[in-house]
Amino acid sequence: MGAYSTGAPCHQCQTVRRCTSLFRPLSALFGFFSRDLGIDLGTANTLVYVRGKGIVISEPSVVAIDKYTKRALWVGMEAKAMVGKTPESIIAVRPLEDGVIADFDTVEMMLHHFIRKVHMQRLMAPHPRVVIGIPSGVTEVEKRAAKDAALSAGAREAYTIEEPMAAAIGAGLPINEPVGSMIVDIGGGTTEIAVISLGGIVVNHSLRVAGDEIDDAIIHYARRDHNLVIGERTAENAKIAAGSAYPLEEEVRVMLRGRDLLTGLPKSVEVSSVEIRDAISQPLNTIIELVKTSIEETPPELVSDIMENGITLAGGGALLMGLDRRLQSELRMPVHRADDPLTCVARGTGKVAEALHLYQRALASGQELRRG
């Protein structure tokens, strides 16, 4: 197992510089055989951006593990298909909760799988440079855990970048300009809200209310109003098909299938998008209130820029029908959905991996180097 550079805090920068110069020839060799990666390590999905190729992996952050040997059997799409359907000997695990690592060993196995998958045609074992998107509200310990997981999975260098910054870069916002840009990134586990100017974050909020809580609200609604027990996948599918934040021009209906809470028998209930909208109103209101709070905390000159250029929505939550219209009506300023919002963070980490020297201020806490 590799060991990582440590030392007294006052010598840390010197240690990193010495390690960087010492490893430069070896790093160049590994760089020839490896592809630098940007990774959006999300609660719901993990996306991998390969330098020069774009996004090549987009799979659920789920690992199916043998309960007795602790070995990963399936990762990603195949593992997610097993959630709620596994025999006793297999556990389907989501190793990230609220955007942070909850199960280090499983995340390491997942990253190792994805890194190997990207480098399948290479002869040597891959040791890429990796940039990982992390929630802005995480602790230093949680940042270190993300970098250590990448290093343990085979990376030779690991960097972290805060997700709202990565999302803004991926969405093409002018982060290095003296202009205020606002990004609202609604993922599976966290909602990240940031105002960015001159390459730095001016106002920032991280909320552990996002897509998963919207799914939970639908689960609780089905149980409370229809005595119906449904699973996570059914709730997510209902959210995608009929979830909305603003009245639709043509309301839709969706079927919820599960188990009757009273009889224990299978049961189906048809519900409308109006009912789903009411069911998910609480988590949505929490997110919208935090966006308002962020604007209140933003310096007036930057608010002026945001009023002119608008707010950009990213992440899977940005796909919720009518969310842009709801925010626009409540905030009285333009709101835009980024192009391909699901991939903004991954594209942002990838752009940083391609040009580290341009984004030094954006990187969350320096680098970690692999040794041994």
Q: What is the pLDDT of residue 84?
A: 74
Q: What is the pLDDT of residue 34?
A: 62
The CB-side HSE value for 338 (13 A sphere, CA atoms) comes to 31
Which residues neighbour 170 within 8 Å (Cβ) at sequence distance 6 or greater? Answer: 314, 338, 343, 344, 345, 346, 347, 348, 349, 350, 351
pLDDT in tens, 259-280: 999 999 999 999 999 999 999 9
Task: Using 70 as the pLDDT threshold, list the residues of the chain that sit under it.
Answer: 1-34, 120-126, 364-372
Position 139, amino acid: T
Residue 129: phi and psi, rounded to 5, are: -80, 140
Tokens describing residue 243:
């979830």
Q: What is the pLDDT of residue 364?
A: 52
pLDDT in tens, 348-357: 999 998 888 8
Q: What is the pLDDT of residue 174?
A: 92
Q: What is the pLDDT of residue 7?
A: 41
Distances (CA, A) of 188 to 74, 213, 316, 321, 362: 21, 8, 7, 16, 23
Architecture of the domain made up of 9-62+98-165+345-369: 2-Layer Sandwich (3.30)
d(CA 178, CA 186): 25
> In the chain, what are the domain boundaries?
9-62+98-165+345-369, 173-209+282-341, 211-280
Q: Is CATH 3.40.190.10 the right assignment for the domain spanning 173-209+282-341?
A: no
Which residues neighbour 278 within 8 Å (Cβ) at sequence distance 6 or greater? Answer: none
Q: What is the pLDDT of residue 261?
A: 94
- 211-280 maps to which CATH number? 3.90.640.10
- 173-209+282-341 and 211-280, same CATH topology: no
CA dihedral 335, 340, 342, 346 (to 10 degrees): -110
d(CA 333, CA 344): 22
Which residues neighbour 39 within 8 Å (Cβ) at sequence distance 6 or greater? Answer: 46, 47, 48, 49, 111, 114, 130, 131, 132, 133, 150, 346, 349
The CB-side HSE value for 81 (13 A sphere, CA atoms) comes to 7
